[in-house]
Amino acid sequence: MSAPTLTPGGRRREKIDELAARAGTLSAGTGGESLLRSAVRRLRRDPVAITGAVIVLVFLVVAVLAPWLAPRDPFAQTLLSEVRQGSIPGAREGFPLGVDQLGRDVLSRLVYGSRQSLVIGVVSTVLGAAVGMLLGILAGGLGGRVDTVVMRFVDILLSIPGLLMAISVSVLLGANQLSLMIAIAVTQVPVFARLLRGSMLVQRDSDYALAARALGVKRRTIVLGHVLPNSLSPVIVQATLSLATAIIEAAALSFLGLGDPDISRPEWGAMLASAQAVLSVRPELAVYPALCIIVVALGFTLLGESLREALDPKFRR
């Protein structure tokens, strides 16, 4: 890039924006095309990305339309009278996937369960990303002593393995839906913080940031207006991937008895955990929610991985 030429007064901003934009596309490769557009173009040709997107889309539709899609009331213990010790009625007319040990229609519970997974995934990811990004911006934007302090704190959080961290937070806050989401979010905070900080440090040393500084732009404007937007792509990728981990972790915490005790909300993790008790009678009861978790987590992972490849200049061959 050529050295920035100083233009007097009001044209400065446009000049810097232009420089910043050019720097962005330069690091992004393919000339004259914005990072976003080239990423979308890449994604549309990628069968992996399309598979992931379709899975996620179906999941979203099912979750939103659950009351209309579910064939029955997920709480009605319709076939309870036929459940005996060591025998649970299987699939039949009107109950395509059979009933659970309390005589409730499994398909309807799976459909409703998608809502819980969606809520848990989105809320815990948004929470974790928000706090993590705040720390990341503080560290990466201010640098110096703030950076040292924030990063030491993040390192301490990272030194407790994820599941143990989630367990400690859950035990502390008690077993309920909110504490489940907070517990998962806490494990994500240090990841987002480190990621954003690292990415901001790279951008801070880039030519366009240097140019902006040379032109006397305020640090706040450089950090929030130029460096931050250009550092977001790894965060977006991580958020997509963390939706998958959140759903899996929620299932694990449910299994450990730290899940949502409110039985009025059917949840895949809780269904999977409670199905273990009747595994030798009807293993399908565990297999169905597990498959749902695997497929949805797979969808988010595929989408996240292909996003990473589409946004990362290293992969553009």
Instruction: List residues binding another protein (CB under 8 A).
Output: 152-153, 155-156, 159-161, 163-164, 167-168, 171-172, 244, 248, 251-252, 255-258, 269, 272, 276, 279-280, 283, 286, 290, 293-294, 297-298, 301-302
Query: Nearer Cβ to another protein, position 211 or 297?
Result: 297
Work out how close the CB of 156 gets to another protein at its nearest, in angstroms, rounded to a whole number: 4
Smallest distance from the beta carbon of 256 to another protein, in angstroms? 6
Exposed, middle or buried: residue 131 (CB in 10 Å: 0-12, 13-18, 19+)? middle
Q: Which residues lie below 8 Å from residue 176, measured CB to CB, with a gap of 6+?
A: 260, 261, 262
Nearer to another protein, 90 or 283 (CB): 283
Minimum distance, C-beta of residue 172 to another protein, in the bound complex (Å): 6
159 versus 264: smaller Cβ distance to another protein: 159
Residues 6+ apart with CB under 8 A from 70: 107, 108, 111, 112
Between 229 and 257, whose beta carbon lies closer to another protein?
257
Q: What is the 8-class DSSP label of residue 258? A: -
Q: Shortest approach of another protein to residue 161 CB, angstroms?
A: 4
CA–CA distance, 50 with 103 (Å, rounded to integer): 38
- What is the C-alpha separation between 24 and 2, in angstroms, rounded? 15
Q: Which is nearer to another protein, 63 or 175 (CB)?
A: 175
Give whichever of 71 and 161 is closer to another protein, judged by the CB atom.
Answer: 161
Give the contacts of 197 (CB within 8 A, at least 6 positions apart): 135, 136, 139, 140, 147, 150, 151
Burial of residue 288 (number of CB atoms within 10 Å: 0-12, 13-18, 19+): buried
What does the alpha-carbon distance between residue 231 and residue 208 come to, in Å, rounded to a whole number? 13
- CA nearest 251: which of 285, 214, 293? 293
**Closest to 195 in 3D by CA, of 256, 252, 243, 151:** 151
Distance CA 210, CA 189 (A): 29
For residues 258 and 183, the answer to whether their CB atoms sit within 8 Å is yes
Residue 211 CB, shortest distance to another protein, in Å, is: 28
Shortest distance (Å) from residue 130 CB to another protein: 21
Residue 234: CB minimum distance to another protein, A: 17
Taking the complex as a whole, how short is the minimal distance between the CB of residue 261 and another protein, in angstroms? 13
Nearer to another protein, 98 or 269 (CB): 269
Nearest to 154 by CA among 128, 135, 126, 181: 135
- Residue 297 to residue 62: CA distance in whole angstroms: 15
Measured from the CB atom, the residue of 62 and 241 that comes closer to another protein is 241
